[in-house]
Amino acid sequence: MLLLALGMILAAAELFTNAIEWLGDKLNLSHGVVGSILASVGTALPETMIPIIAFIAAAKAADPHAGQDIGIGAVIGAPFMLGTLAMAVTGIACWAYARMGLRDAELRPNIQVAKRDLRYFLIVFPLALLASLLPQAAKPVVGVVLIGLYLAYVWQTIKAENGADDGGDHDALKPLIFAPGRTDGPGWFILSTQLVASLSLLIGGAHLFVVHVTHVASFFGVPPLILALVLAPIATELPEKFNSVVWIRARKDTLALGNITGAMVFQSSIPPAFGLFMSPWTLSRPPVVSSVLAIASTLLIVWSIHRHNALKLRFLLAGGGFYVAFIVAVIFFLR
């Protein structure tokens, strides 16, 4: 069943990337807007429901702690996974495709898009973490601030990317998979149909993956917080970042990276805002350690961009090291 789920996710990624590129083309949006906002939010929204549902269930439960742990773990786990493992997977994909002769080994995203996304992440995520130290009455105020910062990010991204040149990539779009014979571009109905179908397949595949990974974790006695912090983001968020792997193969690096960095901004602002509204938002050691590692990985990438004015592959691959460091810490120190 895990193989079936993975197959569904991979097929959905092909459909989604193809549809979202055409949507951006029809709306005359740059790759920065398409990757950082449309693609990242489109795939992140289903996962946002996991912590919300967990917080609601905790509020109704006799013992709310397990539900709160799952909610907080899911909220913190998504930015952690995106800033470490997803970056590493993107780097590995670029390296592997280069070895196969399908592209060169240098990533060439729009550096300004990457800087803007990562700068916002380094503002909103630490703010969400520090809010755990505040009195309970002040936490919802920070939630409102986080939502405001995300809206400011969306506005700045659209404003900065308005009229941006993507190097003619829009003229080289593959035909819409649901309308292969249309050389003049798809209509809105067939485009919407493919977009909805791809998201439905993506959600279905991710849900199937979650169910079976959860069963495995339960069998081995993994605590709810660790399950939500480590396994849930792998099962729900990482498979959907196969969109980036598809775009890396097509040499659309701004879309590939923006799909991750845009999701980092969304996942470190909107879900934490719900956590601040709906839970005590107290962080134990595992979420704090994973957050510090995610921030460290991001700082390393930002430093490399400022140092080289480019995105070097080795700094993306380093994200995998931060992820492994957390897994080791969980096994030996944090359980």
The tally of domains found in the chain comes to 1
CATH number at residue 88: 1.20.1420.30
> Which amino acid would we find at residue 156?
Q
The residues, ordered by sequence, that sit 6+ positions from 321 with a Cβ below 8 Å of its Cβ are: none
pTM for this model (two decimals): 0.81
Specify if 127 maps to a domain: yes
Specify if 33 maps to a domain: yes
Q: What is the spatial distance between Cα 72 and Cα 68, in angstroms, rounded to a whole number? A: 6
pLDDT the model gives residue 234: 72
Residue 333 CB burial class (10 angstroms; 0-12, 13-18, ≥19): exposed
**Has residue 21 got a pLDDT over 60?**
yes
Specify if 178 maps to a domain: no
pLDDT the model gives residue 221: 76
Q: What is the spatial distance between Cα 200 and Cα 216, in angstroms, rounded to a whole number? A: 25
Q: What is the spatial distance between Cα 114 and Cα 323, in angstroms, rounded to a whole number? A: 21
Q: What is the spatial distance between Cα 37 and Cα 262, in angstroms, rounded to a whole number? A: 6
pLDDT the model gives residue 170: 46
Of 35-49, 119-133, 166-180, where does mean pLDDT reach its minimum? Answer: 166-180
Q: What is the spatial distance between Cα 225 and Cα 66, in angstroms, rounded to a whole number? A: 8
Token pair recorded at residue 75: 């909220």
- What are residue 107's phi and psi, to 5 degrees? -80, 135
Write the DSSP assignment of 136-187 as a string of letters: GGGHHHHHHHHHHHHHHHHHHHHHHHTT---TTGGGGPPPPTT-TT-TT---
- What are residue 311's phi and psi, to 5 degrees? -105, 105
Domain that holds residue 68: 2-167+185-334
Specify if 100 maps to a domain: yes
Contact in structure between 286 and 225 (CB atoms under 8 Å): yes
Specify if 31 maps to a domain: yes
pLDDT digit string (tens) for 231-261?
A: 777 766 666 577 888 889 989 898 899 889 9
**Has residue 186 got a pLDDT over 70?**
yes
CA 126 to chain centre: 17
Count of Cβ atoms closer than 10 Å to residue 154 Cβ: 18
pLDDT digit string (tens) for 66-104?
A: 667 778 888 999 999 999 999 999 999 999 999 999 999
Specify if 50 maps to a domain: yes
Of residues 333 and 66, which shows the higher confidence score?
Answer: 333
Per-residue burial over 89-116, b if 16 or more Cβ lie within 10 Å, else e, is bbbbbbbebeeeeebeeebebbbebbeb
Specify if 56 maps to a domain: yes
